Amino acid sequence: MGRCFQAACGTCRHTFMVTEGGGFSFDALRCNRCGADTTVAHADVSDDYLAMLKGFGCEGTEPDGADWRTYPGEPITNDEYRRRVEVKAGVCPCGGQFSYDAPPRCPACRSDAVTDNKLESIRFD
């Protein structure tokens, strides 16, 4: 589950919206240099996604009908899955790397001194 929230920059006081987390059908990553967002659809990494689910031993099937129980490959850890998705996400146009762990950055000054101002928040799947 992801969310979108209004944030404030502690450096320049700019306010802006930040998204974090993925949804049912995608993972969300952020550039470690400029803070730009990108997504990687589970369909684009379907073998890795099913291998990770097989590693967790999750219940049920995916929304697209895929079932990790019939996936013929070896299971992988969540850490390995994240590494593979980060490789798939590639390089940001600014030259930074997309990462799950990159902090949000102010789009005005690129500071990572960003706080959730608790005024507006939207959750999504």
pTM: 0.83
Element of type H or E holding 105:
none
3-state SS assignment for residue 94: coil
Residue 61 has pLDDT above 60, yes or no: no
pLDDT tens digit sequence for 32-54: 999 999 999 999 998 998 898 88
The pairing of beta strand 2-9 with beta strand 15-20:
antiparallel
